[in-house]
């Protein structure tokens, strides 16, 4: 497709701030999204492995990982919205065309996510507070839930891949000259790229287990036998996972489209490769020993994830600019200081205070044996968070009213 056509599909209103900032935020939030997805997939797989075993440690782990999967999926969805917004802002001609070409699947994505999430809860409530010595109920629900989450992820992968082939859009839309307006087909995918992001779940959940063991080891009633089991499993998953991901990454690079020829040996790939290898070794060395575990591997993998997300974005740029002459960096800017300040303010002040409060309560409650009572300082954090939200709502309506009244 002609570059002028791609430019004509842009939003004529332009962007409210510099495009490079949206791109950086997109990379960062994608890295967080995919990390939450990987923890969710890894935790769900451990739930299934544990639910089909009689070993008491596995059963206990399955029960704990049900909570992790449940929360990680909400985090993945909430954080998934952010890159969705940013990609629509700087790559709107591509994202919307890709969505229209597979419109039924875009809507189907939501239905599939709802079904998967509900099934996760079917499993959760079927086994809520149940004794872990009995065989878990509704194991089928967890199996189907995981399968549906994978289908949903595959759909997102297809939408992302279709964006990268503007030269084929007409052929997909009107194969042989006959219009296909059904939106029923999926046109482009790369199993190695999809597999790479999905199987990152193996080292990610390995690092998660090491952090989980470290966290639990701070409890007065810590069960050292269980923690040693969790630690061993976490270290093993890290060891197996990193080489597996390297293999899939290599296959992804070997099967890049022609429009990205050369990217597979570019500096981006070498940096990502170095980050994965160095990160894998660092995480292995920092895994902690015995039953204590460590938080470090989790941090290391998060940094590695950001480097990979940056390389993934560079690949998109190389294809869309290099092969199709579309540069998101020259998007017209129609500076809007208020909305930019509101965005960053909301993110830092409201998001920061509310998250700090919730995480503090969750952290302290999980470490407490018996009933948890927040200290007066934590209680004040909660009050301040609610006050800030109220203030935010008031300013939102006041500014809206002032603009309307002018």
**Binding window for ligand HEM (CB under 6 A); candidates: 78-86, 209-217, 328-336, 394-402:** 78-86
Residues 237 and 41: their CA atoms lie apart, in Å, by 13
Site string for ligand HEM, 94-113 (x = CB under 6 A): -------------------x
Q: Is 80 among the residues that bind ligand HEM (CB under 6 A)?
A: yes
The stretch near ligand HEM (CB under 6 A) out of 99-107, 155-163, 179-187, 393-401 is 155-163
CA-to-CA distance for 249 and 171, rounded, in angstroms?
Answer: 29
The CB-of-37 to ligand HEM minimum distance in angstroms stands at: 4
Does position 297 interact with ligand HEM (CB under 6 A)? The reply is no
CA distance 230 to 213: 6
- CB of 329 or CB of 341, closer to ligand HEM: 329
Q: Which of residues 307-336 bind ligand HEM (CB under 6 A)?
A: 312
Size of the site for ligand HEM (CB under 6 A): 24
Which residue's CB is nearer to ligand HEM, number 202 or number 230? 202
DSSP state letters, 130-168:
--TTSPPS-HHHHHHHHHHHHHHHHHHHHHHHHHT-GGG
Asked whether the beta carbons of 367 and 219 are under 8 A apart, the reply is yes
> Where in 25-44 is the site for ligand HEM (CB under 6 A)?
30, 33-34, 37
Identify which of residues 73 and 205 has a Cβ nearer to ligand HEM in the complex.
73
Residue 149 binding ligand HEM, by CB under 6 A: yes
Among residues 3, 28, 75, 77, the one that binds ligand HEM under rule CB under 6 A? 77
Residue 333, classed as helix, strand or coil, is: strand
CA 210, CA 238: separation in Å to the nearest integer? 10
- Cβ atoms < 10 Å from Cβ of 225: 11
Q: Are 102 and 339 in contact (CB under 8 A)?
A: no
For ligand HEM, the binding residue among 97, 160, 231, 353 (CB under 6 A) is 160
Closest CA to 164 of 8, 31, 309, 326: 326
Residue selected from 57, 59, 70, 157 as contacting ligand HEM according to rule CB under 6 A: 157
The correct pick among 153, 195, 288, 293 for binding ligand HEM (CB under 6 A) is 153
Binding window for ligand HEM (CB under 6 A); candidates: 46-54, 83-91, 282-290, 330-338:
83-91
3-state secondary structure of 222: coil
Strands (E), 88-224: none
Output the six-digit token pair for 106. 């875009």
CA distance 295 to 274: 21
Where on the chain is the footprint of ligand HEM (CB under 6 A)?
A: 30, 33-34, 37, 73, 76-77, 80-81, 83-84, 87, 113, 149, 152-153, 156-157, 160, 193-194, 197-198, 312
């Amino acid at each position: 497709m002609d570059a002028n056509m791609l430019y004509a599909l842009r939003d004529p209103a332009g962007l409210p701030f510099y495009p490079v900032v949206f791109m950086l935020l997109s990379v960062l939030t994608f890295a967080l999204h995919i990390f939450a997805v990987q923890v969710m997939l890894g935790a769900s797989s451990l739930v299934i492995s544990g639910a089909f075993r009689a070993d008491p440690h596995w059963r206990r782990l399955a029960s704990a990982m049900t909570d992790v999967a449940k929360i990680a999926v909400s985090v993945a969805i909430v954080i998934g919205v952010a890159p969705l917004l940013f990609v629509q802002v700087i790559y709107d001609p591509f994202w919307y065309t890709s969505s229209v070409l597979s419109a039924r699947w875009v809507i189907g994505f939501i239905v599939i996510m709802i079904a998967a999430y509900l099934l996760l809860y079917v499993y959760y409530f079927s086994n809520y507070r149940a004794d872990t010595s009995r065989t878990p109920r509704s194991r089928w629900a967890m199996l189907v839930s995981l399968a549906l989450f994978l289908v949903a992820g595959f759909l997102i992968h297809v939408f992302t891949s279709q964006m990268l082939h503007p030269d084929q859009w007409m052929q997909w839309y009107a194969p042989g000259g006959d219009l296909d307006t059904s939106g029923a087909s999926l046109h482009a995918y790369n199993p190695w790229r999809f597999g790479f992001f999905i199987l990152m779940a193996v080292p990610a959940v390995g690092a998660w287990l090491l952090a989980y063991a470290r966290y639990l080891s701070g409890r007065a009633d810590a069960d050292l036998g269980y923690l040693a089991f969790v630690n061993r499993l976490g270290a093993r998953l890290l060891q197996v996972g990193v080489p597996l991901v390297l293999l899939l990454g290599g296959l992804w690079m070997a099967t890049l489209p022609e429009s990205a020829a050369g990217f597979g040996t570019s500096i981006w790939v070498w940096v990502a490769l170095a980050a994965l290898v160095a990160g894998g070794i660092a995480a292995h060395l920092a895994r902690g020993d015995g039953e204590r575990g460590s938080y470090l591997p989790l941090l290391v993998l998060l940094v590695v994830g950001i480097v990979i997300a940056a390389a993934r974005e560079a690949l998109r740029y190389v294809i869309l600019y290099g092969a199709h002459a579309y540069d998101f960096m020259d998007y017209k800017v129609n500076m809007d200081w208020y909305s930019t300040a509101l965005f960053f303010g909301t993110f830092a002040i409201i998001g920061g205070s509310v998250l700090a409060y919730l995480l503090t309560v969750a952290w302290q409650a999980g470490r407490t044996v018996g009933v948890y009572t927040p200290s007066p300082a934590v209680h004040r954090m909660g009050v301040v968070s609610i006050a800030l939200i109220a203030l935010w709502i008031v300013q939102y309506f006041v500014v809206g009213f002032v603009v309307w009244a002018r």
